[in-house]
């Protein structure tokens, strides 16, 4: 039985072969946000807009729309939080260790996070407790969501799950447009755990064996097609 709670977005959501139907966003990690923005602009011809900061998590971001209901999040350490959560956050340490920007995580959207968490637990998948999240936009508006991740996400190969608050504008709606995602897949080890977990979660995404964990995406932008 498919375990991901399906959310209907009608005509606002585009079904693209090769892209999971419930893909919400993918995260491009970088050690410096300005560098990450410029790096992405060189490839797609679109400059990402500053999204805001994640209070208490030590990170900040910039955003690009990837089409209806999907977006790219460029995530970097927030210098203003370096003395607080930034020094102890595993994510911040990971970002600081990146020599160049790369895809590090992805999210699946759901309309019923609580039910999904129960179904995941019933299938024997260990998850972190669902938690509330928020981000302050530059214009002062607060975006809110709930999310949970897997205790073992295989270094970002397995997704985390997000339910957006009904009063929050989805980032894909007002982030800079001009870049579309055309394909998304991953490479994993040969032990079969990745494929088995994805199957239990009801997520249809191409996964093949590889020598190291790798997220792959293909886009088309103002400069043509490119891959990350």
CA count, 13 A, side-chain hemisphere, 159? 28
Q: Are 50 and 22 in contact (CB under 8 A)?
A: no
What pLDDT sits at residue 87?
61
Q: pLDDT band for position 132 (50/70/90)?
A: very high
Q: What is the mean pLDDT of the chain?
A: 87
What's the CATH number for 18-227? Answer: 3.10.180.10
Q: Delimit the domains of the chain by residue range.
A: 18-227
What global pTM score does this model have?
Answer: 0.88
For residue 184, the surrounding DSSP H or E stretch is: strand 180-188
Which residue did the predictor score with more confidence, 41 or 133?
A: 41
Task: Determine the Cα–Cα distance for residues 144 and 10; give it in Å rounded to an integer.
Answer: 22
Q: What residues contact 116, with CB distance under 8 A and at least 6 apart?
A: 3, 4, 5, 110, 161
- Reported confidence tier of residue 135, pLDDT bands at 50, 70, 90: confident
Round to whole Å and give the CA distance between 216 and 104.
10
| Residue 55 or residue 40, greater confidence | 40
């Amino acid at each position: 039985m498919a375990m991901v709670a399906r959310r209907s977005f009608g005509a606002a959501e585009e079904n693209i072969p090769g892209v999971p139907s419930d893909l919400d966003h993918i995260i491009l990690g970088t050690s410096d946000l300005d560098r990450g923005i410029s790096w992405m602009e060189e490839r797609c011809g679109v400059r990402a807009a500053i999204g805001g900061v994640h209070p208490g998590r030590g990170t900040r971001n910039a955003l690009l729309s990837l089409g209806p209901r999907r977006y790219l999040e460029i995530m970097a350490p927030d210098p203003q939080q370096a003395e607080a959560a930034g020094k102890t956050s595993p994510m911040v340490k990971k970002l600081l260790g990146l020599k160049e920007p790369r895809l590090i995580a992805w999210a699946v959207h759901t309309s019923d996070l609580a039910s999904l968490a129960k179904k995941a637990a019933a299938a024997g998948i260990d998850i972190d407790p669902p938690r509330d999240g928020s981000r302050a936009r530059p214009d002062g508006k607060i975006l809110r969501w709930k999310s949970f991740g897997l205790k073992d996400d295989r270094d970002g190969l397995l997704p985390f799950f997000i339910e957006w608050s009904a009063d929050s504008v989805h980032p894909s709606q007002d982030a800079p447009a001009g870049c579309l995602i055309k394909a998304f897949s991953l490479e994993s080890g040969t032990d079969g755990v990745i494929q088995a977990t994805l199957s239990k979660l009801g997520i249809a995404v191409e996964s093949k064996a590889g020598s190291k964990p790798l997220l792959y995406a293909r886009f088309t932008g103002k400069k043509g097609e490119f891959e990350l």
